[in-house]
Amino acid sequence: MSNEREAEYRWEVRRDDRVVDQGRMSLDDEHPWTGDVADHHFEVGSAFFEQACYDALERSRDAILDARVEGRPAPEPVGVVSVLLQDDDGTALVSMTAKLIHKPVTAEDVAEHRALLQECEEEDRRMLEARKRQQAES
């Protein structure tokens, strides 16, 4: 059992057939995204898979919102996410794939996003002004 735990495996995350993240680990390593240590490869694969799917959904939605706020054509959202864990011989230890279903982006969503961006810009401006005042007083 200890040899299996120490044995390294490769992992990769794909979005629409593009590798977007990859690495090497063993079961005794902390998960790079969650910090958890797993007892089984399927636990590691499941953690990668869940995070990769949520990340792809969020990034796609943010890209569409940003494009609409800026008046650009919206990019195509990620359609498929895959996670693959392999041993050093290339044998699949875990393979998971999902077709993503994206929630439609409404005009209300765009308005809320625009307001959030404006709030962030205003906060950045206030922080910059406060920093300048602080430096002037020093």
Does residue 122 share a domain with residue 89?
no
pLDDT grade, residue 1 (50/70/90)?
very low
pLDDT above 50: residue 2: no
Query: What local confidence, expressed as pLDDT, does residue 72 receive?
Result: 96
Q: Do 78 and 110 have their domain in common?
A: no
Question: Quick one: 22 and 67 in the same domain?
Answer: yes
Whether residue 36 is found in the same domain as residue 88: yes
Kindly report, residue by residue over 28-74, the tens digit of the pLDDT: 888 777 787 878 888 888 988 999 999 999 999 999 999 999 999 99
More confident of the two residues 97 and 3: 97
**In the predicted structure, residue 90 carries a pLDDT above the cut 70:** yes
If asked whether residues 95 and 112 sit together in one domain, one would say no
- Considering only CA atoms, which of 29, 70, 65, 73 is closest in space to residue 48? 29
Which pTM was predicted? 0.80
Query: How many Cβ atoms are within 10 Å of 84's Cβ, its own excluded?
Result: 21
Domain that holds residue 114: 106-138
Beta carbons of 9 and 85 less than 8 angstroms apart: yes
Do 49 and 18 belong together in one domain? yes
Statement to judge: residues 121 and 56 lie in one domain: no
pLDDT at 116 over 50: yes
> If residue 6 lies in a helix (H) or strand (E), which one and from where to where?
helix 2-6
Residues 61-88: what's their mean pLDDT? Answer: 96
pLDDT of 5 reads 59
Whether 59 and 121 share a structural domain: no
